[in-house]
Amino acid sequence: MKPETLPIGLYDPTNPTSMNHLATHLRPTRRAPLFPLLLALGLLAAGPLLAAEGISNIRASQRPGTNLVDLRYDLATTSTNPMLVAVAVSTNGGNTYDLPATHFSGDVGFGVSAGTNKWIVWDALRDWPDRFSTNVFFRLTASDAPPGMVLIPAGLFTMGDTLDGDSGALPLHTNQVSAFYMDKNLVTKALWDQVKGWNGGNGYSYDYPGSGKAANHPVHSVDWYDVVKWCNARSQMEGRMPVYYTDAALTQVYKTGQVAPYVKWGAAGYRLPTEAEWEKAARGGASGQGFPWSGTNNITHSMANYYSDAGYAYDVSPTRGYHPTFATNGTPYTSPVGYFAPNGYGLYDMAGNVWEWCWDWYGSYSSGSQTDPRGPASGSGRVDRGGSWDGDAFYCRAAYRYYYYPSYSFVYLGFRAVLPPGQP
């Protein structure tokens, strides 16, 4: 239903197609867009929170003589976790919310606590310069956990292992990793295409188109540069602050070419996991295990999509070679995401299917304890983790490390993304 303009109204959570809006008429200023703001009042996303909770009492005003827009709202929740508050902007009367607006500050992004009179400031000129419209809408949403993601809690863990004498996984060392959210599944071909469909007209370009055996299989044949740019595009598509930039001032969003980007670590957008984040997540809360599952140091084809080889004592699969279920219709022999049981954190395919790009340059481990390590400052190859449908069980170990040149693309390379923490 096309939104109606009313003096004041609320979103009826029992009827998602029924939206009323608060209309605020703003004065035009020199070089400022004319913004009669029609605000869509969004409530909590589906999840453990009550539908009656969420964002309400939205007010908006444009500061006289400026291009700054103030958004104020109330946030109610019984959750003990701080919330993720996101803003989406429509310039066509609420038909689509696809303006790549990122210049928000204040009570927005992760870590917003419940309360009244929350305040967001939008620098409209930076996102929509020299434009005028009578059809600008805002949609504010709050959620306890991003859809399709799981929370990886903060804590210490031991990185590396001594199970195979693999020097690349040594020395053992302790890392403190802050909480973060991670995609529960590998990025699928369907999600890859959805984001690319949005960013096609927003200045993004890629080295490779990305491939996938089916819509629900992981995307593959994407290089490191492409997945970093795609993370930025996914962020902007959802109204989040991008993470990767081409300049030290963090003003030019990385959208094209092959560069080692600057990182805005505090931004609320999608990014690749660091190597330490990936290994902590892969272990699923367990310690001393070779693979991402608790209670066993073995692996079989009932647990992961990989190439089984009797030469490894811990590979006890009754079937050998490529996974018999998926070795059909030509390579790649990928499997649908979420096909196998998850690990202790609820993550799927942390062993096998496709390798996963990480942020870090590859380098030797330090023996000292670290907090949120991000790898070497430079290098020649970016880290990949998790093994693939084409790799032996040895490569599927939670501690195994590999790397490729960031411009490399092949049928066993994919990724998943993370978001910053919503709690300490």
290-345 residue pLDDT tens: 899 988 899 999 999 999 999 999 999 999 999 999 999 999 999 999 999 999 88
What are the CA-CA distances from residue 60 to residues 21, 24, 41, 90 (Å)?
A: 12, 7, 12, 15
Kindly report the number of other CB atoms within 10 A of residue 96's CB atom: 12
**Mean pLDDT across the chain, nearest whole number?**
82
Phi-psi group of 377: left, alpha or beta (phi > 0 → left; psi -120 to 50 → alpha; rest → beta): alpha
Judge if 288 and 273 occupy the same domain: yes
- The CATH number given to whatever domain includes residue 405 is 3.90.1580.10
pLDDT tens digits for range 224-255: 999 999 999 999 999 899 999 999 999 999 99
129 confidence band (pLDDT: 50, 70, 90): confident
- 391: containing domain: 147-424
pLDDT tens digits for range 37-65: 333 333 222 222 222 258 889 988 888 88
Judge if 197 and 329 occupy the same domain: yes
408 has pLDDT over 80: yes
Judge if 211 and 262 occupy the same domain: yes
Phi, psi (5° rounding) for residue 205? -145, 150
Q: What pLDDT does 11 receive?
A: 26
Q: Per-residue DSSP letters for 121-144?
A: EEEHHHHSTT---S-EEEEEEEES
Mean pLDDT of 85-106: 81
Judge if 123 and 266 occupy the same domain: no
* Alpha-carbon Rg for the chain in angstroms: 23
- Residue whose token pair is 């080889």: 309
Judge if 415 and 275 occupy the same domain: yes
Judge if 365 and 311 occupy the same domain: yes
* Closest to 269 measured CA to CA, from 230, 233, 247, 243: 243
Judge if 221 and 81 occupy the same domain: no
Q: What pLDDT does 82 receive?
A: 66
Question: In terms of DSSP bridges, do strands 136-143 and 109-112 run parallel, antiparallel, or are they unpaired?
Answer: unpaired
3-state secondary structure at position 395: helix
CA separation for the pair 259, 101 (Å, rounded): 23
Q: What pLDDT does 370 receive?
A: 87
Based on DSSP, count helices (H) and strands (E) in the chain, helices before strands: 4, 22
Judge if 164 and 57 occupy the same domain: no
Contact 231, 269 (CB under 8 A): yes
Q: What pLDDT does 37 receive?
A: 39
Phi, psi (5° rounding) for residue 196? -65, -35
422 has pLDDT over 90: no
pLDDT tens digits for range 346-398: 999 999 999 999 999 999 888 788 889 899 999 999 999 999 999 999 999 99
Judge if 136 and 178 occupy the same domain: no
Q: What pLDDT does 92 receive?
A: 84
Judge if 270 and 417 occupy the same domain: yes
185 has pLDDT over 60: yes
Which amino acid belongs to residue 330? Answer: G
Phi, psi (5° rounding) for residue 279? -70, -40
87 has pLDDT over 90: no
Both tokens assigned to 408: 């490399």
Judge if 137 and 151 occupy the same domain: no
User: Which contiguous run of DSSP H or E holds residue 181?
Assistant: strand 180-183
**Which residues, in sequence order, are CB contacts of 310 under 8 Å at separation 6+?**
320
Torsion of CA 29, 33, 34, 38, to 10 degrees: -130
Q: What pLDDT does 85 receive?
A: 79
Judge if 82 and 175 occupy the same domain: no
* Closest to 97 measured CA to CA, from 46, 143, 136, 42: 136
The tally of domains found in the chain comes to: 2
3-state secondary structure at position 16: coil
8 confidence band (pLDDT: 50, 70, 90): very low
100 has pLDDT over 90: no
Domain termination residue (choose one: 143, 160, 175): 143
pTM over 0.75: no
User: Which stretch of 3-17, 203-217, 239-253, 303-317 has the lowest confidence by average pLDDT?
Assistant: 3-17
Domain termination residue (choose one: 128, 143, 158): 143
